[in-house]
Amino acid sequence: MPAAAPAVVAAPRSPPYARFVPPRSIGPYEILSVIGRGGIGTVYRARHRETGEVAALKLLGPPPACDPIAARRLAREFEALRCLDHPNVVRVHAAGVHEGYSYLAMELVQGLDLRSYLSPCLDELPELPGRLDARPSPLVHGIDVWSDEPETGSLLTPAEEGPPSGPDAIRAFAALMEEAETDPRARPAQGSGERSSDPPDVIDAPLPAPLLERLNAPARLRRLEDAVCQVCDGLAYVHRRGLVHRDLKPSNIMVDDGRRVRLMDFGLVKLASDSLHLTQHGRAVGTYRYMAPEQARGEPVDHRADLYSLGVILFELVCGRPPFLARRPTQLWGDIVSRVPPPVESLNPAANPRLARLAERLLAKEPLRRIGSAEEVAAALRG
């Protein structure tokens, strides 16, 4: 009998951003411009007033745009990242609370997300110097849109002296909020107005020849292997420190203008020794399309859940689409838990056999049947 889908909790609706006036400064940072906005917060380009260092500043809104769980996860993200030092993992600088808003300042990465970087529709990057400078990074989970918004002219007063800072300040602020736990990524309930039909199974067929030719172009495959190897390097480093990302997906992987990859958005990171349970058992958090079966069922996860997500990413990069295309979350959940993905060769007959085998092994439903570590994946790609 198939497992029951995890419980569903509706997320609160965020207030219209048109009514929000950006602050002039947040903690020790002055605000320069908006990078992106999402359901639970905004990301700004900011500059440290004393050092002059430019950073990306993630700002969570007050209730109902933010709840205590989101604030505690922001604190945990800072605590997890502040001890990490790896070229393929984003660096964090500071965290705190400013006038009712929790914030996290991190390294500003100029570049493209992994999907855009490896898009088969992009021209060959070596012939287009500066292409990766074109747009800034969103740098925040839940924000999958680009924003070329100019610097804002309407500003509030500067921050008061000595704002509370650090993860403990964020937790103390979260304790003051009375909102119930919510999960912005939770599966919507049935009857929520979603479309009742999904694309027919005929979509599990080879892609058009022109697209396949671009997907399998030697220059693109070289970029793909290099980028995925860097993802594996960063992931292996994270896993060795007892962390599980739990939300690995193309929009959370950035490639800068020097072609260096960064793992981003550790808002759902899990510490193996963490006694603070921000996720109830039987409740799934993450992004369904890239979620491991055990994670979709709301079961405890380890590093092998990230390896499954890596398999989804690799499958998508090789085939031009993810393994499962269901639009309704209920059907997508069922596909992840019980359906076998289509063979890579059925979608891309000319796919690199090594990449196809790696993707299919990583997508095993049972964690023990997957490749054992990110190091092994990187070694296979480089071997």
Task: Report, as residue numbers or ranges, the catalytic residues.
Answer: 247
Cis before 64? omega within 30: yes
Nearest C-alpha neighbor of 50 from the set 110, 105, 109, 91: 105
Residue 342 DSSP code: P
For 107-119, b/e burial (b = at least 16 CB within 10 A) is bbbbbbbbebbbb
> 262 forms bridges with which residues in the sheet?
254
* Cβ neighbours of 72 (radius 10 Å): 20
**Full DSSP string of 45-76:** EEEETTT--EEEEEEEPSTTT--HHHHHHHHH
For 83-99, b/e burial (b = at least 16 CB within 10 A) is ebebebbbebbbbbbbe
Which 3 state secondary structure label does DSSP give 32? strand
* Residue owning tokens 């921000």: 278
Which 3 state secondary structure label does DSSP give 8? coil
CA distance 45 to 274: 31
Rg of the Cα atoms in the chain:
21
* Residue owning tokens 């500067």: 158
User: Is residue 304 a contact partner of residue 292, using CB atoms and an 8 Å limit?
Assistant: yes
User: Is residue 177 a contact partner of residue 100, using CB atoms and an 8 Å limit?
Assistant: no
Q: What are phi and psi of 173, to 5 degrees?
A: -65, -40
Q: Which residues contact 180 (CB under 8 A, 6 or more apart)?
A: 9, 67
Taking CA atoms, 183 is separated from 12, 97, 244, 272, in Å, by 9, 21, 18, 21
CA distance 107 to 259: 16
* Angle (deg, nearest 10), helices 303-319 and 374-382: 30
